[in-house]
Amino acid sequence: MKSKERVGIKGYGAYIPFQRLPSTEVARVWKGGGSGPNLEKAVASIDEDTVTMAIEASQYAMKMAGIEELGAIFVGTESKPYAVKPTSTIVAQALGQHYTLAADLEFACKAATEAVQVLTGLVGSGMIQNGLAIGVDTAQGRPGDELEYTAASGSAAFVISKFDKDAIASIDCSASYVSDTGDFWRRAQERYPRHLSRFTGEPAYFYHVEKSVRNLFQETGLKPSDFTYAVFHQPNPRFPVEVAARLGFTAGQIKTGLLNPLIGNTYAASSPIGLAAVLDEAKPGNKILLASFGSGAGSDAFSFTVQDAIEKSRGVSPTVKSMIAKGTKIDYSTYTKFRGKLTK
Partner 1 sequence: MAIQFWRIRDRYYRLMGNRCDDCGARNLADKDMPRTGKILTHTQLHEPLPGFESEVPLNLAVIELQNGARVLAQIVDTPQEKIETGAKARAVIRRVRVDGDSGQILYGYKFVVE
Residue closer to partner 1 by CB (options 55, 159) is 55
Binding mask 143-182 for partner 1 (x = CB under 8 A): ----------------------------------------
Nearest to 21 by CA among 106, 131, 147, 119: 147
Residue with smaller CB distance to partner 1, 56 or 300: 56
Between 90 and 169, CB nearer to partner 1: 90
Q: Which of 40, 48, 78, 148 is catalytic?
A: 78
The answer to whether residue 233 is catalytic is yes
Sequence-distant (≥ 6) Cβ neighbours of residue 72 within 8 angstroms: 100, 101, 102, 103, 118, 119, 122, 128, 131, 132
Per CB under 8 A, which region of 11-19, 119-127, 222-230, 302-310 contacts partner 1? 11-19
**Ranges within 232-271 binding partner 1 (CB under 8 A):** none
Instruction: Name the segment binding partner 1 (CB under 8 A); options: 47-55, 151-159, 198-206, 247-255.
Output: 47-55
What lies within 8 Å, CB to CB, of 227 at 6+ separation is: 249, 253, 287, 288, 289, 303
Q: How far apart are CA 40 and CA 38, in angstroms?
A: 6
Q: Out of 25, 109, 148, 173, which one is annotated catalytic?
A: 109
Alpha helix (H) ranges present in 109-159?
Answer: 111-124
Between CA 132 and CA 55 the distance in angstroms is 11
Which segment (13-21, 116-124, 131-139, 307-315) binds partner 1 by CB under 8 A?
13-21
Q: How near is the Cβ of 93 to partner 1 at its closest, in Å?
A: 6
Q: Which amino acid is at 135?
A: G
* Sign, Cα dihedral of 107, 112, 114, 118: positive
Judged by CB under 8 A, the chain residues 54 through 93 that form the site for partner 1 are 55-56, 81-82, 90, 93
Q: Which of 35, 45, 220, 334 binds partner 1 (CB under 8 A)?
A: 45
Contacting range for partner 1; rule: CB under 8 A; set: 48-56, 187-195, 237-245, 271-279: 48-56
CB 294 within 8 A of CB 107: yes
Of 4, 188, 315, 343, the one binding partner 1 (CB under 8 A) is 343
Of 235, 156, 162, 167, the C-alpha closest to 201 is: 235
Binding test (CB under 8 A) with partner 1, winner from 6, 18, 261, 334: 18
The CA distance from 20 to 342, in Å, is 18
Smallest distance, partner 1 to C-beta of residue 343, A: 6
Nearer to partner 1, 64 or 230 (CB): 64
Burial class (CB in 10 A: 0-12, 13-18, 19+), 94: middle
Rounded CA separation 250/257 (Å): 13
* Amino acid, res. 219: E
Give the count of residues interacting with partner 1 (CB under 8 A): 22
Examine residue 39 and tell whether it contacts partner 1 (CB under 8 A): no
Please state the closest distance from residue 326 (CB atom) to partner 1, in A: 9
Rounded Cα distance between 149 and 102, Å, is 33
If the CB atoms of residues 283 and 329 are measured against partner 1, the closer one turns out to be 329
94 touching partner 1, by CB under 8 A:
yes
DSSP per-residue codes, 170-183: EEEEEEEEEEEE-S
Assess contact for 16 and 154: CB atoms under 8 A.
yes
Give me the DSSP letters along 179-234: EEE-SEE--TT-SS-EE-GGGGIIIIIIHHHHHHHHHHHHHH---GGG-SEEEE--
Min. distance of Cβ 19 from partner 1 in angstroms? 8
Would you say 7 or 152 has its CB closer to partner 1?
A: 152
Residues from 313 through 332 that contact partner 1 (CB under 8 A): 328
The catalytic residues are 78, 109, 233
Interface with partner 1 (CB under 8 A): 17-19, 45-49, 51-52, 55-56, 81-82, 90, 93-94, 96, 328, 337, 343-344
